[in-house]
Structure 1
Amino acid sequence: MHALLGAGILAVLTLLGGCGNDSRSTQALAPVEIDRSTSCSLDGMLLADYPGPKAQIIYVGKDKPAFFCDTMELINQLHSGEQVRAIQGAYVQDMGKADWNHPEGHWIDAKAAYYVVGSKRHGSMGPTFASFAQEADAASFVQEYGGKVMKFEEIKPGSADLSGGALHDSHM
């Protein structure tokens, strides 16, 4: 009798465990394209007004992403010790395909991207990490603009210096 009751409770708990599950919590949502009104979640800058790769994070339970006007902001956010919200997906633009001065589309997984660190090319906040889907595109970028190719996991916390662009931007 106790075994039957225990099996029944286990079956009910198993069924209840599926209630309220949001399949989005285990799958990354597709990145969202920016438009003329899309602003940075950190500083309110309009993304379309500035050059260089943009980024976005889709948090669990949120339908809209948090946008970043620069890849350094995203990497800083992902490496932040205060980052406790669950993430469904983090995306950057593939600058091997996107136009540097007017980047649109070409979103790739931020943690799978190749980054060029320390190049002469600037983004919206000054020095930036150029993001690429293909290592060969990143290497070509290095030949022209300098820097070093790194994978996401090779970028150390704290190396995304956010003190550059906003402090020296005469357009703001």
Structure 2
Amino acid sequence: MNRIYLKASRVLAGVLVCLALVACDKAQSPPAAQAGLAFHPGDECHVCGMVITDFPGPKGAAVGAGGTKKFCSPAEMLGWWLQPENHRADVKLYVHDMGRSHWDAPDDAHLIDARTAYFVIGSGLKGAMGVVLASFSDPEAAQKLAHDTGGKVLRLEDIDQKLLGQAGAMSSMSH
């Protein structure tokens, strides 16, 4: 009988380890997929009120305790987030990975964490109003676009309100 209990306890332990690993794997799902983010034709930009899908290029989304706020561009999202009342660590920031999306119709399956993204400014690509920031997960893809267009690669910590040129306009808009 002891062999049966020993064998059964080993099988049970193995099953528990497998369940724990499966649970850990679920925690590794892409964060944007967990947040259920998608940009729909009627969605309006949280900052400017324009219809988000009317513009080419990457979009942005901020997910926090207050819900999801969607933006027509990474620049609009970052301009909002850089305001002191919105600049919180618990807000998750997402942008489209343009290394895996078409510029005219970014794929919501390729949203990435903006805190780890590489942004190209000055590419000459058309986007929403204001500064156009092309966002990438791959530094080589960002560098290639910058090299090909005369743009410059930036990280999130390089971007401020002055660079975005929206400090005055952003502070007067409601949130």
Fold similarity call, TM over 0.5: yes
Equivalents in 2 of 1:152, 1:85: separation in Å? 14
Provide, for residues 98-134 of structure 1, a one-character-per-residue CA deviation record: whole Å limited to 9, x for no partner. 1111222110001110001222112111431110000
Q: Is the counterpart of residue 32 in structure 1 residue 37 in structure 2?
A: yes
Between the aligned residues of both structures, percent identity stands at 34
Give me the TM-score of the superposition, normalised by structure 1.
Answer: 0.70
Q: Which runs of no fewer than 5 residues in structure 1 stay unpaired?
A: 1-27, 164-172
Partner of 1:22: none
Query: What is the alpha-carbon root mean square deviation over aligned residues?
Result: 2.0
Query: Which structure features the higher share of helix residues?
Result: 2
Give me the TM-score of the superposition, normalised by structure 2.
Answer: 0.69
Q: What SS is found at the alignment partner of 1:57?
A: strand
Q: Tell me which amino acid in the other structure corresponds to 1:121.
A: L
Residue 148 of structure 1 and its aligned partner are, at CA, apart by 0.8
Provide, for residues 27-68 of structure 1, a one-character-per-residue CA deviation record: whole Å limited to 9, x for no partner. x65250111111111122111111111000012142xx1000
Partner of 2:74: 71
Q: What SS is found at the alignment partner of 2:63?
A: strand
Q: What SS is found at the alignment partner of 1:123?
A: coil
Which 4+ stretches in 1 moved above 3 angstroms?
84-88
- Total equivalences in the alignment: 134
Equivalents in 1 of 2:149, 2:159: separation in Å? 19
* Counterpart pick for 2:131 among 127, 132, 140: 127
Partner of 2:144: 140
Using a 3 Å threshold, how does the CA distance of structure 1 residues 145 and 31 change in structure 2: closer, same or farther?
farther
Provide, for residues 53-98 of structure 1, a one-character-per-residue CA deviation record: whole Å limited to 9, x for no partner. 1000012142xx1000011111112211232666441100001111
Q: Is the counterpart of residue 83 in structure 1 residue 92 in structure 2?
A: no
Partner of 1:55: 60
| Equivalent pair of 2:131/2:164 in contact (CA under 8 Å) | no
Partner of 1:19: none
Q: What SS is found at the alignment partner of 1:83?
A: coil
| Equivalent pair of 2:47/2:80 in contact (CA under 8 Å) | no
